[in-house]
Chains A and B, each alone.
Chain A
């Protein structure tokens, strides 16, 4: 059963009115903002940090920051885009503080590299499988299991839709490095997802 104030969320369906309410620190406006934007912001924070605890802290930090700056928000971008940038920056700042140094690459002598698994052709349209809750859960886990450097590249580029230049700038790496990280992430995901997408699940 809905609480009485939950039925009033439509009061702030207009973004201008929502901003006015937020500037008054109106609880209903804050609730409306959370209902409308927080799930996506939480996903962003969770997938970037790889930790539910960190994601909660990042989201709280970002929203407190947004509230403190709401009086100076000029509306040059949408409210959602503005919030997204704030939370993205908060998540990246946290990662930079916690990140271990990058392990240098040591080239193995030719012939000693492990043979890659076969490149299996996915049958049909991979998008056809997206409605499967099982596949969504597998994707959730597979993304969180990626090493941080690969996960952040994948999240910014493939999920958040940043351009190569924007994602490289956000991560403070070259575009070439971003492309390689992204390809490695996609290969790793592809290997994890192949049994589900090709229908060749072990034991099934």
Chain B
């Protein structure tokens, strides 16, 4: 396994991003982070890894729970039985 040496700016930005994930940066910090992400090859490479994985993940569709299918069918058809409405 290899590790990448990051620039001080990159390390600082990453530390900020990983801190308190339910908070929202203010406008000036957003701008600083966005400018870094647009130019930093390490951050772009890290994003590309996840993006590649997610492109494969999106092909995976969990089956609809059986009880939900029955519930939805009743809502959509208003209680019609098979063959009605034709």
Contact = CB atoms under 8 A, between A and B. Distances in A.
A39 interface: yes
Contacts of B54: 154, 158-159
Interface string A132-144: 0000100110000
A65 B22 CA distance: 32
B35 to A, nearest CB: 9
Size class of the B contact interface (CB-based, 8 Å): 35 or more
Contacts of B75: 60, 63-64, 67
Interface in A120-157: 120-123, 125-127, 129-130, 136, 139-140, 146-150, 154
Interface residues of A, number: 77
Nearest to B71: A60
Given A26-B85, A189-B50, A180 B30 contact: yes
A130 B3 contact: no
A183 interface: yes
A85 interface: no
A179 B50 CA distance: 14
Contact of A118 (B3, B58, B80): B3
Contact of B50 (A114, A176, A190): A190
B19 A114 contact: yes
Interface string B11-53: 1101111111111111001110110010000110011011111
Contacts of A189: 50
A27 B62 contact: no
Contact of A27 (B4, B58, B84): B84
Contact of B86 (A26, A103, A149, A188): A26
A168 interface: no
Given A26-B80, A34-B72, A183-B33, 17 more contacts: A24-B86, A28-B86, A105-B26, A107-B29, A117-B18, A121-B3, A126-B52, A127-B52, A127-B56, A130-B56, A158-B55, A180-B37, A183-B37, A190-B46, A190-B49, A193-B50, A198-B1
